[in-house]
Amino acid sequence: MSIHTQKLRTPLFYSLLATAGLVVLLGLYAVSLMEHHGHIITGMNNQIVWGMPHVFAIFMIVAASGVLNIAAIGSVFGKAVYKARAPLAGMLSIALLAGGLFVLMLDLGRNDRIIVAATNFNPTSVFAWNLPLYSGLFTLVALYMWTLLERRMNRWIKPVGLAVFTWRIMLTTGTGLIFAFLVARQAYGSAILPPMFIVMSFGWGMAVFLVVQSAMYRWNDKAHDPVVLNRMKNLLGIFVLGSLFLVAVYHLTNLYFARQTEFEHFILGEGGIYPGLFWLGYVLLGSLLPLLLVFHPRLGQIKCVVAASLLVILGSFALLYVFIIGGQAFPLSIFPGYVASSSFGDGQIANYAPSLPEFLLGFAGLAVAFLMTTIGVRVLTALLPHDTQDQHHD
């Protein structure tokens, strides 16, 4: 790379940092507004307590786990093509998890109370389980990055990679269990949710990785290896199919039980914005169109792969909005076959409209992940994948 080219890129690098930093500052300003005025300035209420920030946070946490699947294929299963991408996958995992927890912590309302959770561990709470799961993933991925980047530690890549893979499955299972153990909402309380979140993490992590890898390649004037790109886009398609299948199983399971029929009619057909986001946002734009882009024999170029990945990411936000917000909006059927009502709002469908501070906080979390990844790749050039012809025969 010439010195002249590097000089051209330096202003772009600092411009990206400044833009992302501004987004983070706007997010912190939104947090200060919510701290001062209370969550009354958001769209959240007594029934919908997890709003738009949780959609951003859960996406980043699940994607942080899923992106490690790329590293596991290389380090644990010995595929050289993916092993070359393990350092970038590790960096992305740390960045996404940090961004997700940034949003999650600042949306608590009383984020100083985390000290209570950290010093008084409740083993019967699935939320308490996430404290060691999150901190454990940070530690293991940092150790994994050390084994990848330090030659003297290379002999430990496989065992540490196996530990990371196992831990990330546990973390995503814990995320699914948050909802699976929650019986106070009609949409949740299903054993299918942990495996559904695990499979969804595969596709979301792969989509994020392909977008970031493409941006880094473009930034450094690197061309995609067509053989490697073909492998990765096919794997993305398989993960999208798997996610679509388990989401269908989740809804079909609900339809099988009479007590869930009314909820499914609401979320899939009569619930206003929620059916539209599900069928148009997730099924059509977030699943079927990406499958066409990656599997059509005349498509599959890098622009189509990136477009498919971006659509998968947008579809994941649509699905999470329907699952999290729509799942809380529908009232719990406490007495099946009877109508429950009260002055508190029992038996009524809750209204929710996300506010600007919620969006600012969510985008700030993405900006934190962007800052960490951009600076990391700039400082550690070893994070950028380097392909060789020998990998094609792996």
What is the Cα–Cα distance from 85 to 80, expressed in whole angstroms? 9
Query: Which residue blocks in 150-225 are alpha helix, DSSP H?
Result: 157-180, 193-219
Asked if residues 70 and 82 have their Cβ atoms less than 8 Å apart, the reply is yes
What is the Cα–Cα distance from 385 to 390, expressed in whole angstroms? 14
What is the Cα–Cα distance from 291 to 378, expressed in whole angstroms? 33
Q: What's the sign of the alpha-carbon dihedral 73, 75, 78, 83?
A: positive
317-335: pLDDT as tens digits: 999 999 999 988 888 776 6
Domain locations in the chain? 13-332+349-384
| pLDDT value of position 167 | 92
| pLDDT value of position 14 | 87
| pLDDT value of position 300 | 67
Closest CA to 198 of 127, 250, 141, 143: 250
Asked if residues 68 and 141 have their Cβ atoms less than 8 Å apart, the reply is yes
Q: What is the DSSP letter of 49?
A: -
Chosen CATH of 13-332+349-384 out of 3.90.1150.10, 2.40.30.130, 1.20.1630.10, 1.20.140.10: 1.20.1630.10
45-58: pLDDT as tens digits: 888 889 999 999 99
pLDDT tens digit at each of 394 positions of the chain? 333 344 446 788 888 899 999 999 999 999 999 888 888 888 888 888 899 999 999 999 999 999 998 888 877 777 777 888 888 999 999 999 999 999 988 887 677 777 777 778 888 888 888 888 999 999 999 999 998 888 888 888 889 889 999 999 999 999 999 998 887 787 888 889 999 999 999 999 999 999 999 988 888 778 787 888 888 899 999 999 999 999 999 999 988 888 888 888 899 988 889 999 999 999 999 999 999 999 987 776 888 999 999 999 999 999 999 999 998 888 877 666 666 666 666 667 888 899 999 999 999 999 999 999 999 888 887 777 776 655 555 5
